[in-house]
Amino acid sequence: MDTSFIRVSAACPVVNVADIKFNLNNIESCIEEALKEKSKFIVFPELCITAYTCADLFLQQELLEKSESAIESLCEFSKNKDILIAVGAPLHFNNCLYNCAYIIFKGNILGIVPKSYIPNYSEFYEKRWFTEGLGILGKTVNLPFAKSIPFGTNLLFTCNNIKIGFEICEDLWVTIPPSSYLALQGANIIANLSASNELVSKADYRKSLVSSQSARCMCSYLYASSGVFESSTDLLFSGHLLISENGLLLKENNRFQRENEIITSIIDIDKLNSERLKNISFRNSPSICPFEVCEIPFEFSNLELGVFDRYIDKHPFVPSNEYKRALRCKEIFNIQSSALAKRFSYTGLNKAIVGISGGLDSTLALLVIVKTFDMLNLPRKNIITITMPGFGTTDRTYMNAVNLCKHLGTDFREINIVDACLQHFKDINHPIEKHDVTYENVQARERTQILMDVANKEGGLLIGTGDLSELALGWCTYNGDHMSMYSVNCSIPKTLVKYLVKYVSDKEASKEASEILLDILDTPISPELLPKDVNGKIAQKTEDIVGPYELHDFFLYYFMKQGATKSKILFLAKEAFKADYAEDEIIKWLDKFIKRFFTQQFKRSALPDGPKVGTISLSPRGDLRMPSDASFNSFL
């Protein structure tokens, strides 16, 4: 059974205070609705069998007996239903009353989890009725219809790599929530059965709390709170429902609904487990747990998801929201320029050398250098920009390079490499008409030699321009454009490079510079190492050779971020790009990505320094310790 994904639900049923039969009917209706949506796990609010606001009625034997009978009825109702149910109800045990989560599956109570922390301040006075469950470990409970039910705060409900833990309302609000310990011992889904009253702005804080706990625990967090039909004597409840995953809010309801409501979302279990596998601090923390979990296994019949409606972003490196994207671009420029400024202040140098081709990467590097020099109060004339026309340079890229450098006020120079390359072809006895990899790499290395030598002559720092996508594919010439003295774009993927240049065009550039930048953005991506076509246009288009960068960036994100298998990456890519590429085309470029990623590691092993900008980097000094001669066969 594939347990990469699971569909889960949080529910808020309509209740009548102390009307147990009415409440049970609505709980069952919510379960039926969740089953229609193919959900495998549903969590309900705190004490929803009785309603949370029963107050002193919790001391009435009639209410407790009816609640117990309702749990029995719910077990009977669940017998042939392939869904794990977490429902809130009181438990009378050893002369104490506990506020509990009953975990029910296919007719059985798998376990009962008591609320660890009982609030008794401000508007809450639960200690009048309930006893804290904190410290209850490894007990068993007998009910008239079920014997030896596991009871404690250390229960973990497991189905293969799906591991579910529970806490109740106040438990989340304390300094160290029980979910923190449960997560350290394997729980990758935490469910909270809650009754959190509504106050002005409390919803924002609650949402932040849920999201931050899911991030801290690297888990999915399901939160279900009591709704508007609780007693309003002094408090009002809104029925807040939340599903979060590793800090990201996947689903939230509209509060204050007056009918049964559920929200559902698909959780990526592999993603969560992968994050934990990479995080050494997380792996080393279980020793601090004050208890050991009691694992309670169960088995779903299947994990069918129905319609796969989890949003898969085609461009995971690029925020889809325009406002957030602008903030991201601003932040990245600050990281790049601050890192470069540190390198200049350390070396004591005050000149930068950069090769300008009229393409995206060198344009971005130049914009970063300009920002850095402005920040350091260095004259832009200390930025030596060199364009080096070769056999494939087109008028369009040449003029864009010339005009941009002059407009930015740099020390612009032109060095034609054709004669030097012709001499080199003669020296190594390479036919000029043979347009192979040697023909291309001679040009790339000639350009790098010129830049290095100018940097020595001028006492400056050669700034590299290559980006993360090119490094992932090895789309660079070893000891050619692969090399520099400091590389500012090395952890920025190609899909994001475009938006960074667009950001400057929109927000910071003059009208004339903006026109140049927009034309650069509209130019096909090419190293321009092969001769122009008969019309003087670019003949060598990178994406025709290695594949679309938007696909490769997508592959890179899931390969590095999650350590995802080929089959999972393919599944996600088909979902994200279903309107853009046929399946066989995605497979073709995915195979290309895997092969190039493995065979080109030797280039990444010798990368120059450069700032880490996002969560994914290929630096051999920290983020990717990979052998240069590893086989890709198992990964295909």
Using one digit for the tens of pLDDT, what is the confidence trace for 64-95?
999 999 999 999 999 999 999 999 999 999 99
User: What average pLDDT does range 398-421 have in this prediction?
Assistant: 96
Q: What is the mean pLDDT of the chain?
A: 95
Structure tokens at 10: 């949080």
Is 169 a residue of the active site?
A: yes
Quick: pLDDT tens for 223-275: 999 999 999 888 999 999 999 999 999 999 999 999 999 999 999 999 999 99
Mean pLDDT of 601-620: 95
Is 159 known to sit in a ligand binding site?
no
Q: What is the 3-class SS of 576-606, one letter each residue?
A: HCCCCCCHHHHHHHHHHHHHHHHHCHHHHCC
Give the angle 71-74-75 at the CA atoms, nearest 5°: 90
The one catalytic residue in 38, 46, 75, 568 is: 46
Q: What is the pLDDT of residues 203-227, one digit of tens each?
A: 999 999 999 999 999 999 999 999 9
Q: Is 510 annotated as a binding residue?
A: no
**CA–CA gap between residue 384 and residue 14 (Å, rounded):** 70
Domain with CATH 3.60.110.10 in the chain: 5-297
Of the given ranges (63-67, 128-132, 161-165, 623-627), which has the lowest mean pLDDT?
623-627
Residue 605, annotated as binding a ligand: no
Q: What are phi and psi of 603, to 5 degrees?
A: -70, -40
Q: How confident is the model at residue 1 (pLDDT cuts 50, 70, 90)?
A: low
Give the residue among 135, 137, 73, 161 at the shortest CA–CA distance from 109.
73
411 assigned to a ligand binding site: no
Superfamily of domain 322-635: HUPs (3.40.50.620)
Give me the CATH code for the 5-297 domain, please.
3.60.110.10
Q: Where in the chain is the domain with CATH 3.40.50.620?
A: 322-635
Pick the catalytic residue from 30, 159, 169, 405: 169
159 is catalytic: no
What would the mean pLDDT of 419-443 be, rounded to a whole number?
A: 94
The 10s digit of each residue's pLDDT in 475-504 is 999 999 999 999 999 999 999 999 999 999
Q: Is 465 annotated as a binding residue?
A: yes
Query: SS3 for 449?
Result: helix
Residues in the chain: 636
Residue 30 annotated as binding site: no
The residues facing 235 across adjacent strands are none
The predicted model gives 499-527 an average pLDDT of 91
pLDDT of amino acid 280: 83
Which SS3 state, helix, strand or coil, does residue 333 take? helix
Predicted pLDDT at 118: 96
In sequence order, what E strands does 75-175 have?
84-93, 96-105, 108-114, 139-143, 146-151, 155-159, 162-168
Comparing CA positions, the residue from 620, 628, 618 lying closest to residue 469 is 618
362 among the known binding-site residues? Answer: yes
Amino acid at 330: K
Is 603 annotated as a binding-site member? yes
More confidently predicted of 576 and 622:
576
Identify which of 214, 203, 126, 176 has the alpha carbon closest to the alpha carbon of residue 290: 176
Instruction: Report the alpha-carbon angle 602-604-619, nearest 5.
Output: 140
Q: Which of 7-11, 521-525, 548-552 has the lowest mean pLDDT?
A: 521-525
Largest CA distance in the chain: 100
Does 536 carry a binding-site annotation?
no
For residue 631, give every residue at least 6 positions away whose Cβ sits within 8 Å of its Cβ, in sequence order, or none.
598
Top pLDDT among 280 and 635 is at 635
pLDDT in tens, 265-316: 999 999 999 999 888 888 778 788 889 999 999 999 999 999 999 999 999 9
How confident is the model at residue 2, as a pLDDT? Answer: 65
398 is in an annotated binding site: no
Q: Is residue 202 part of an annotated ligand binding site?
A: yes
Residues above pLDDT 70, as percent of the chain: 100
Per-residue DSSP letter, 247: T
- pLDDT range class, residue 542, cuts 50, 70, 90: confident
Q: CA separation (Å) from 223 to 42, 269, 308, 369?
A: 10, 18, 22, 47
pTM: 0.91
The encoded tokens of residue 179 equal: 């979910």
Q: Is 357 annotated as a binding residue?
A: yes
Q: How many CB atoms lie within 10 A of CB 107?
A: 14
Confidence grade of residue 527 (pLDDT, cut at 50, 70, 90): confident
525 DSSP 8-state letter = P
Q: Which of 115, 271, 351, 568 is catalytic?
A: 115
Rounded to 5 degrees, φ, ψ at 415 are -130, 110
Does 458 count as an annotated binding residue? no
464 is in an annotated binding site: no
Sign of torsion over alpha carbons 404, 407, 413, 419: positive
| Beta bridge pairs of residue 193 | 168, 224
Is 356 annotated as belonging to a binding site? yes
Query: Any residues with CB less than 8 A from the CB of 184 and at least 6 apart, and which?
Result: 217, 282, 285, 286, 288, 289
